[in-house]
Amino acid sequence: MKVLNLYGVNDLRLDEKDMPICKADEVLVKVKYCGICGSDIQRVYAKGTYHFPTVIGHEFSGVVKYDTENKLTGKKVAVFPLLPCFNCESCEKGNYASCSDYDYYGSRRDGGMAEYIAVKRWNLIVLNDSVPIEQGAMLEPVAVARHATMKLGNIQGMNILISGAGPIGLIAAQWSKLFGAKAIYFFDIDKQKIDFAKKMGFYEYNNDEIDAAIEGTGASDALSHCLKALKAGGKITLMGNPIREIALSQNDYWDILRKELQLFGTWNSSYNDTVNDWKEGVDAITRGDINLEPLITHKYKLEQYKEAFELMYKRKEFYNKVMFQIN
Ligand SMILES: [Zn+2]
Ligand SMILES: [Zn+2]
């Protein structure tokens, strides 16, 4: 089968690999779509993976080709990419994203930029017919965005500022609307991204009064901007992965103190019986409350991987969600 194998930083190759062999707790998934995450750009061009080579890709959906128990064969599925240890304190609470010893499809072990992958049954989310399979490949960002938005608590009637109008920001905006926010404003250094957000019914931030914010870029300037924009008593979720040191000026820090701002961290998503951002995501897509279709701007074949990665890395043209369509 064909896979995208990362052999080192700047060394991604279209490779041939043996078909995976399923263990008793796994099913064989024929991958249909796999999104390229911003974190994959970091992996390929800067940080690498935990060991080499690794098949990257953690945002994927497909069809179950083979199930030893024969229950899931033919079903459309998405995949929660985290494999918890089930032993640590966080796992005991069902807080798998904070597991101290986890594995991960597409970074610590082989992922979804492949024709096939063996996936543990526990990690499968079965999709109903109302969820287009390519949107199933976006359930990860949908879940991550929901998790981040939920951290803000009640946002009914509030003005929300989201920094970063990429896929997760635009999905967080849709969740915010669903949770009753009054208006959603965007801040982004890329004018085209702002225009895209406006087309989806959101606003460009222009010194409006902000009750709650989501920082989605991991850049100091953006965080500083959010802290300034927030009203006294405001709250902010820190979601963006920092690309370098995050530094705050004395005034930014005073903003936190004087306005008594509340800062929340968010990491990944909830995936347990009590809170399940993934299942909520499927339901919201099914109801039409979350609309992912306009976000998918580019589809590539695995063979076009150089083009696909360079588009995002070099920002060659406007894009939102870029994904591989794998036949
Ligand atoms: Zn991702
Ligand atoms: Zn654990």
pLDDT digits (tens, 9 = 90+) for 197-218: 999 999 999 999 999 999 999 9
Residue 123's nearest CA partner among 96, 148, 101 is 96
The answer as to CATH 1.10.3720.10 being correct for domain 2-138+292-325 is no
Q: What is the pLDDT of residue 276?
A: 98
> pTM for the complete prediction?
0.96
> Is the separation of the CB atoms in 108 and 49 below 8 Å?
yes
The tokens for 195 are 């225009």
Each domain of the chain, given as residue ranges in start order, spans 2-138+292-325, 145-265
Q: What is the pLDDT of residue 243?
A: 82
Q: Give the ranges where 66-130 is alpha helix by DSSP (H).
A: 89-92
**325 Cβ contact list (under 8 Å, min separation 6):** 32, 33, 134, 299, 300, 301
Question: Ligand 2 centroid to 190 CA: how many Å?
Answer: 39
Classify residue 206 as exposed, middle or buried by CB count within 10 Å of its CB (0-12, 13-18, 19+).
exposed
Residue 54's nearest CA partner among 117, 112, 106, 115 is 106
* Architecture per CATH, 145-265: 3-Layer(aba) Sandwich (3.40)
Question: Ligand 1 centroid to 56 CA: how many Å?
Answer: 11
Question: Ligand 2 centroid to 97 CA: how many Å?
Answer: 8
Question: Ligand 1 centroid to 39 CA: how many Å?
Answer: 6
14-46 as b/e: b if 16+ CB within 10 A: eeeeeebebeeebbbbbbbbbbbbbebbebbbe
Question: Ligand 2 centroid to 89 CA: how many Å?
Answer: 7
pLDDT digits (tens, 9 = 90+) for 246-283: 999 999 999 999 999 999 999 999 999 999 999 999 99
- Below-50 pLDDT ranges, the chain: none
Q: What is the pLDDT of residue 250?
A: 98
Rounded CA Rg of the chain: 20
Question: Ligand 1 centroid to 151 CA: how many Å?
Answer: 19
Q: What is the pLDDT of residue 327?
A: 85
Q: Identify the nearest ligand to the CA of 140 by its number.
A: 1
Question: Ligand 1 centroid to 258 CA: how many Å?
Answer: 35
